[in-house]
Amino acid sequence: MNAVAGLAAATIFCVLQAIYWFVASKRSARQAFLAERLGTDDSLARTNELLRRDEDEGALARRLAGLIEEAGLDITIGGFFSRVVMWTAFVFLVLLIVLGSLGGALFLSLLITPVLQFRALAVRKRKRGRRIQEQLPEALEVMIISLRAGQSLEQTVRLTATQLDEPIGEEFRRVAEETELGRPLEQALLSMGERLSSVRSLRTFVTSVLVLRQTGGNLIEVLEAIIDTMRQQTQYERKLQAMTAEGRSSSRMLGGLPIVFVSLAYLADPTYVGRLFTDPLGNVLLGVAGSLYLIGMVWIRKLVNPES
């Protein structure tokens, strides 16, 4: 009982620390955001960096920071890990009450919670990127109309920001606000391209605008070509989704079967499943089974999602 009380106290302490760093990270993210808006780095060098992004994977911390930003979260890496700690502690306490096993609750909370948090972050990023991809043709059409009316590119960006909904409206609004603070339009567009590096069509748009701003050319024709390419890409993606629909359904069924089986076995005879959490050999078997399950799910996902 003393060990459980001490562990619960340590868990509460970790949760309080996580809350503190989570709040502090939002303040740091806001400061970094303002510093980025007022930055004055070399735009040509950053253009080359944007073009080489597919070849340069970068450090893990930078990739995680980019993932958080693409997901639209106003937190830093520390804030994200604070969130993971909070949820891990919460799941641990719930499992400790339900299972009554200290080792089983600790193992499952450390195995499941971080995976689910990273998965939720990736899903949020993918949904937001997909939504931006869907909104981009409309945004480019608004820009074409504005440019044909004789407005400058800066005015066109501000108009696009006011005419479109979230999330792409938020991104164009951010570019417009940065230019109003005195930042060159090229640098503001580069920042948007870096924030949304997974949206290839947006990166193509940013690169095209930057090249034309430096070399000259007909921006309207380029935007029309991008819209046509995006429509063809949308048709291809729909065809791919239709071809892999059966495989994706099978993957969801295979992924849910182990969870359903364990749940039914626990309801039928709690001691049958409980030994996996109370017996040392059961803990080892549970760890091996959980690891193989995760590997299998990743493998199946690669098979049914060729582009992932």
The count of domains in the chain is: 2
Residue 145's pLDDT is: 92
CB 147 within 8 A of CB 219: yes
Q: Is residue 294 part of a domain?
A: yes
Q: Are residues 280 and 225 in the same domain?
A: no
Do 228 and 278 belong together in one domain?
A: no
Residue 26 binned pLDDT confidence (cut-offs 50, 70, 90) = very low
- From CA 209, how far away is CA 185, in angstroms rounded? 10
CA 227 to chain centre: 25
Out of 212, 236, 260, pick the residue that ends a domain.
236
Highest mean pLDDT of the ranges 41-55, 196-210, 247-261: 196-210
Encode pLDDT of 119-172 as tens digits.
Answer: 888 888 888 888 888 888 888 999 999 999 888 888 898 998 888 888 888 889
- Whether 180 and 260 map to the same domain: the answer is no
DSSP string, 141-171: HHHHHHHHTT--HHHHHHHHHHHS-TTHHHH
Domain-ending residue, one of 219, 236, 253 = 236
- Final residue of a domain: which of 217, 236, 255? 236
250 falls within a domain: yes
> Do residues 149 and 231 share a domain?
yes
pLDDT band, very low/low/confident/very high, at 306 (cuts 50, 70, 90): low
Q: Which domain holds residue 272?
A: 244-308
pLDDT digits (tens, 9 = 90+) for 60-85: 677 777 788 777 777 778 888 888 88
| Average pLDDT, rounded, for the chain | 77
DSSP state of 76: -
pLDDT at 186: 87
Q: How confident is the model at residue 307 (pLDDT cuts 50, 70, 90)?
A: low
- Report the alpha-carbon angle 114-117-121, nearest 5: 140
The CATH number assigned to the domain holding 226 equals 1.20.81
- 204-223: string of b/e by CB count within 10 Å (b at 16+)? bbbbbbbebbeeeeebeebb
More confident residue, 305 or 143: 143
Average pLDDT of span 253-274: 80
Q: Is 198 domain-assigned?
A: yes
Model confidence pLDDT, tens digit, residues 170-206: 889 989 988 888 888 888 888 888 888 788 888 888 8
Q: Are 70 and 125 in contact (CB under 8 A)?
A: yes
